[in-house]
């Protein structure tokens, strides 16, 4: 698991290999590390230098021979704390600047972005939950969405929505599995900030779905085609919102947040 931690600290997989080699084999010379890891000796010094600068590795002399060994492992926790503090400060700066940025981009010409695969669809939906809007309108087949994104991704996206205090109104395509699906994939506790309705039976074949927030809409396909796209357009958003409200009025309440 430390390989991921090293990546977060801006270190490469090879940095981790060098560190892990010292951890498992004990103090070593640059020559021993180079042979053990099959890395050119001049190059191994670059990786050692990076680890020393981070305070993860130290050098010492043993009978006039330079050796390298692991420094205090608590340095890893210190480095992570420093990064968390830095990111916390940067987040506050972004939060201050965000209203201005949103205002500046409000009049930008319509844009279109295409995303492919499960990861791409996740990126498309994350643009919605991090849009800064206070409400999102969702219309999709919950079964197809879960099949495409997976159980955990569905939970993660909704948890981020709630964390960002974005209220959701959702319309699911008609399904006979509504109770089971609601319990498995959409329950987030008492404060789920959502109201969900089921569309009329005539919309049982609804496959393509969308999330709409402000002037931005993210569309997602089924797993068979596995793609998504994001459209940012005032006119298009108004069109979708009008359509959504018409279907909303003719849909059956499933969950109404208290």
Q: Where are the domains of the chain?
A: 1-107, 110-256
State residue 178's pLDDT score.
60
Give alpha helix (H) positions in 135-177.
Answer: 142-149, 151-163
Highest mean pLDDT: which range of 3-7, 52-56, 198-202 = 52-56
Residue range 239-251: mean pLDDT, rounded: 94
Could you give the CA distance from residue 219 to residue 110 in angstroms, rounded to a whole number?
15
State residue 249's pLDDT score.
93
State residue 188's pLDDT score.
42
State residue 255's pLDDT score.
61
Average pLDDT, the chain: 85
In this structure, what are the phi and psi dihedrals at residue 67, rounded to the nearest 5 degrees?
-120, 155
Q: Is 217 left (phi over 0), alpha (psi -120 to 50) or beta?
A: beta
Shared fold status for 1-107 and 110-256: no
Could you give the CA distance from residue 54 to residue 79 in angstroms, rounded to a whole number?
8
Q: How confident is the model at residue 15 (pLDDT cuts 50, 70, 90)?
A: very high
C-alpha distances out from residue 200 to 5, 70, 176, Å: 49, 64, 12
State residue 24's pLDDT score.
92
Task: Look at the domain 110-256 and name its fold.
Answer: Endonuclease; Chain A (3.30.870)
Residue range 164-188: mean pLDDT, rounded: 72
Q: How confident is the model at residue 196 (pLDDT cuts 50, 70, 90)?
A: confident
Q: Which region among 34-43, 104-113, 122-131 has the lowest average model confidence (pLDDT)?
A: 104-113
Could you give the CA distance from residue 96 to residue 91 in angstroms, rounded to a whole number?
9
108: DSSP letter: P
pLDDT above 70 (res 231):
yes
Percent of the chain topping pLDDT 70: 89
State residue 254's pLDDT score.
80
Cβ-contact 199, 206 below 8 angstroms: yes
Beta strands in the chain (DSSP E): 57-62, 65-70, 111-116, 135-140, 167-172, 194-198, 209-213, 216-220, 227-232, 252-256
240 is written with which tokens?
A: 């979708």
Residue range 167-193: mean pLDDT, rounded: 69
State residue 138's pLDDT score.
94
Listed residue (196, 202, 236, 197) closest to 216, CA to CA: 236
* pTM of the complete model: 0.60
Q: Which CATH architecture has domain 1-107?
A: Orthogonal Bundle (1.10)
Q: How confident is the model at residue 105 (pLDDT cuts 50, 70, 90)?
A: low
pLDDT above 90 (res 97):
no
Listed residue (33, 30, 28, 97) closest to 69, CA to CA: 28
């Amino acid at each position: 698991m430390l390989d991921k931690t090293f990546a977060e600290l801006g270190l490469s997989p090879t940095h981790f290999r060098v560190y892990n080699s010292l951890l498992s084999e004990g103090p070593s010379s640059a020559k021993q590390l180079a042979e053990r890891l099959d890395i050119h000796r001049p190059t191994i010094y670059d990786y050692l230098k990076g680890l020393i600068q981070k305070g993860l590795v130290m050098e010492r002399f043993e009978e006039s021979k330079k050796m390298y060994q692991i420094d205090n492992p608590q340095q890893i926790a210190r480095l992570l704390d420093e990064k968390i503090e830095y990111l916390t400060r940067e987040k506050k700066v972004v939060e201050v600047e965000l209203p201005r940025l949103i205002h500046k981009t409000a009049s930008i010409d319509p844009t279109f972005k295409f995303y492919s695969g499960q990861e791409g669809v996740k990126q498309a939906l994350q643009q919605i939950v991090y849009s800064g809007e206070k409400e999102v309108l969702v219309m999709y087949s919950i079964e197809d969405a879960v099949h495409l994104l997976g159980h955990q991704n569905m939970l993660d996206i909704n948890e981020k929505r709630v964390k960002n205090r974005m209220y959701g109104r959702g319309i699911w395509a008609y399904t006979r599995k509504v109770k089971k699906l609601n319990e498995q994939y959409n329950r987030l506790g008492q404060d789920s900030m959502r109201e969900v309705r089921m569309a009329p039976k005539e919309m049982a074949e609804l496959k393509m779905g969308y999330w709409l927030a402000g002037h931005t809409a993210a569309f997602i396909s089924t797993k068979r085609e596995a793609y998504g796209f994001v459209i940012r357009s005032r006119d298009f958003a108004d069109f979708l919102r009008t359509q959504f409200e018409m279907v909303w009025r003719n849909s059956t309440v499933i969950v109404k947040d208290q």
